[in-house]
Amino acid sequence: MMAQQGAMLAAVVLLVLLPLALSCPCPPIPASKVCGSDHHTYDSQCLLLCAAVSGLSVIHHGPCTPVETALGRLFNATQLAAGPAHPPDGQSSWEEWWTYDGISGPGFWGLINPQWGLCSKGRRQSPVDIQADKLLFDPRLRPLHIDKHKISGTLANTGQSLVLRVDQDSKHHVNISGGPLAYRYQLQEGYIHYGTHDGHGSEHTVQGQTFPGEIQLYGFNAELYHNMSEAQHKAQGIVAISLMLQIGETPTPELRLITSVFNKVHHRGQATPIRQLSVRALLPETDHYMTYEGSTTHPGCWETTVWIIINKPIYITRQELYALRKLMQGSPETPKAPLGNNARPLQPLHHRTVRTNIDFFKAQGKNCPTMYRDMHYKANSWAENEIL
């Protein structure tokens, strides 16, 4: 009789847990136990995320106390009576459930989806802080070239960022070449990162200084790969151009094509067309830049990205920035929090080199790291009986 009851209990548990396991993208890897805000002990942060419902978060690391466990049983019974859990806000999959804070924030991206493991374990991650005394001047870096063709696309509020997706069926694509690039890259999309106040916003920083915002333009290697989805997993697959946003009374004229439609993407899921945007005109008038090997700054943090950080900001007015800061993460019915503060924390360089074509130390008569050396090989001669 006891065996039959045990079998029935196991069957019930299996019926309850199997749908959750099948819909959960996280591998059941044991780790330090955590106590969820539902007062239930989870074997890992990953399983906590997989079982999460809206508002669930970590109470503390380690098993729940007996009182918390008792509350957890009551909570779970209530949830089972209400039906199986689904991703918050009716999202189609857990892979879309990532944010810039909380248990779905940058520290947990590598747990939400096992394919995003580089977000947690990668050693060539972005963004980074650009430190002037660690820049390496490379005289062989060429000027960056961007096609003059104008693009059309869609500006969308994804709930995580403001994203510009370029129409790929256009007759003329915008190609990116030169600079540190060995291949031709095709512009695909752009992301706008910004803060809810002036002291925070950009993902990359320069000498520890944060800018109010940063526009990142991504392109894929069109000579080796067919699209961004393929290129992001492959060597030399992606280029990312970083444009820092600074507040000014005279805005960058081409930027107005984007800022003028902020009111049409106020909530998640809203989108509006962008027509005849010149990416070349959007860039500031300078040939100077910094470059390093890194990753995308959004999941899955692919370490296939050549970063080019332009050494001059573009300008946005306070009025335009105010309109940008009014955008919300959620729908009109549940607007949630402002869309801003969508910046991934700085990542360590791990001995990577940041190169630049700015020879400002030479202009000031200072000695700095450089790749410009008068060096050559010399063939030595030695006697036949000489010991090497």
Q: Would you give the end-to-end CA distance of the chain in angstroms?
A: 85
Question: Where do we find the tokens 């030695």?
Answer: 382
Question: Where do we find the tokens 């977000």?
Answer: 119
Q: Are strands 58-61 and 41-42 parallel, antiparallel or unpaired?
A: unpaired
CA distance 313 to 319: 18
Question: Where do we find the tokens 């008569």?
Answer: 365
Bridge partners (DSSP) listed for residue 41: 35
CA distance 99 to 123: 22
Furthest C-alpha separation in the chain? 95
DSSP letter at 82 equals H
Residue 374: both structure tokens together: 């008068």
CA distance 60 to 35: 5
Q: Where are the beta strands (DSSP E) in 210-344?
A: 213-221, 238-247, 271-278, 289-294, 305-310, 314-316
- Between CA 318 and CA 326, with CA 320 as vertex, the angle to 5 degrees is 100
- From the list 42, 185, 218, 225, the catalytic residue is 225
| Whether the Cβ atoms of residue 140 and residue 309 lie closer than 8 Å to each other | no
| Whether the Cβ atoms of residue 193 and residue 312 lie closer than 8 Å to each other | no
Q: Does the annotation mark 225 as catalytic?
A: yes
Give SS3 for 129. strand
- Nearest by Cα to 31 from 15, 8, 50: 50
- Nearest by Cα to 158 from 347, 299, 50: 299
| Whether the Cβ atoms of residue 301 and residue 107 lie closer than 8 Å to each other | no
DSSP letter at 340 equals -
Q: Checking phi first, is residue 90 left (phi over 0); if not, alpha (psi -120 to 50) or beta?
A: left
The residues annotated as belonging to the active site are 225
